[in-house]
Amino acid sequence: MKTLVDKLTACRICPRRCGVNRLENELGHCKTGRQAIVCSFHPHFGEEPELVGSHGSGTIFFSYCSLLCNFCQNFEISHLGNGRPVSGEELAGMMLELQQLGCHNINLVTPTHVVPQILAALQIARDKGLRLPLVYNSSGYDRVSTLKLLDGLVDIYMPDFKFWSADIADKTCNAPDYPEVARKAIAEMYRQVGTLQTNPAGIAYRGLLIRHLVLPEDLAGTREIAQFVAQELSPDTYVNIMPQYRPCGLAHQTNGLDRRLTAKEYLAAIKIARDQGLTRISRF
């Protein structure tokens, strides 16, 4: 019987649909072959408070990416591929070590292109006692068909909703289909897990948490994104409106992205999100 890993023989796991044989280490857009590549794993205290708690979010940073924003804040990881290949057993061991350290969850950072490898490792880890909630921390550039394979396995979805404009997505990521793909992907994530739920200590254990990085000159399309989330998902959707944009990587290639976000632009974005009906806005 074929396994999900066998889908890597003509890979269409992500929206790029490269069709390369990753089991033979042919490389497509994500530059990742048979094995997932991990840059680092550790308790992380720089995430949203609902994930961090007192013992940190157990982050595993996967190298490379299927979207590749030219302004990526983790350019060395996503574009340059800092990290090393790991087996399924090694990846499972990382999850179990993070649990042993007391982390509140397993936070898979940039997992889109390595879903088959993650699921293989997850089975090993759960057979050995992994019980933490699983966080799927992606760019939002995910195929619905792949997300459906995760239904019942992922507890918390944490996608970015980066852009509303196909033109901006094309200029920054060579992905003009990003807005349409993200809308469908995030709707599927919401269908699976609903709004974010927390325990009495304020720690998230299930639900959707959307990140939206505000860009200079409103290049992200905050109004349209907030309207979509409020009207098509729920006004109670947890949305982290993030102010930390700074020029990184190849940001200078796109007009408007060669400078930092101003406080005025950020406060305007917060007001826009509220005006569109969102009631659960984080400013972390």
What average pLDDT does the chain have? 96
Instruction: Give the pair of three-digit tokens for residue 143.
Output: 């195929």
Three-state helix/strand/coil letters over the chain: CCCHHHHHHHCCCCCCCCCCCHHHCCCCCCCCCCCEEEEEEEEECCCCHHHHCCCCEEEEEECCCCCCCCCCCCHHHHCCCCCEEECHHHHHHHHHHHHHCCCCCEEEECCHHHHHHHHHHHHHHHHCCCCCCEEEECCCCCCHHHHHCCCCCCCEECCECCCCCHHHHHHHHCCCCHHHHHHHHHHHHHHHHCECEECCCCCEEEEEEEEEECCHHHCCCHHHHHHHHHHHHCCCCEEEEECCCCCCCCHHHCCCCCCCCCHHHHHHHHHHHHHCCCCCEECC
Q: Whole-angstrom Cα distance, residue 104 to residue 110?
A: 19
CATH code (residue 254): 3.20.20.70
Checking if the pLDDT of 170 tops 90, the result is yes
Mean pLDDT of 254-281: 96
Identify which of 36, 90, 106, 25 has the alpha carbon closest to the alpha carbon of residue 66.
Answer: 36
140: left (phi over 0), alpha (psi -120 to 50) or beta: left
CB atoms within 10 A of CB 72: 21
Per-residue pLDDT at 283: 78
Query: Mean pLDDT across the stretch 88-116?
Result: 98
| Residue 72 covered by a domain | yes
Which residues, at least 6 apart from 86, have a Cβ–Cβ distance to it below 8 Å? Answer: 35, 36, 37, 38, 94
The amino acid that residue 247 corresponds to is P
Output the six-digit token pair for 17.
Answer: 């649909």
pTM of the predicted protein model: 0.96
Within a domain: residue 5?
A: no
Domain assignment present for residue 11? The answer is: no
- % of the chain beyond a pLDDT of 70: 99
User: Residue 130 domain-assigned?
Assistant: yes
Asked if 67 contacts 179 with a C-beta cutoff of 8 angstroms, the reply is: no
Query: Are the C-beta atoms of 118 and 149 separated by less than 8 Å?
Result: no
Q: 111 near 140, Cβ under 8 Å?
A: no
Residue 2, pLDDT above cutoff 90:
no
Contact yes or no for 46/57 (Cβ under 8 A): no
Within-domain flag for 205: yes
- At 214-258, the pLDDT tens digits run 999 999 999 999 999 999 999 999 999 999 999 999 999 899 999
Please check whether residue 7 lies inside any domain of the structure. no
Q: Which residues span the domain enclosing 97? A: 35-282
Task: Indicate the pLDDT class of residue 87, thresholds 50, 70 and 90.
Answer: very high
CA distances from 215 to 7, 158, 205, 239, 254 (A): 36, 19, 30, 16, 12
**191: which residues sit within 8 A by CB, 6+ positions away?**
none
The pLDDT tens digits for 128-146 are: 999 999 999 999 999 999 9
106 inside domain: yes
pLDDT band at 124 (very low <50, low <70, confident <90, very high): very high
Q: What is the pLDDT of residue 233?
A: 98
Number of domains in the chain: 1
* Pairing assessment for the beta strands 204-213 and 156-157 based on DSSP bridges: parallel
Looking at residue 141, its pLDDT comes to 98
| Position 15 in a domain | no
User: In this structure, what token pair is assigned to residue 97?
Assistant: 């070590």
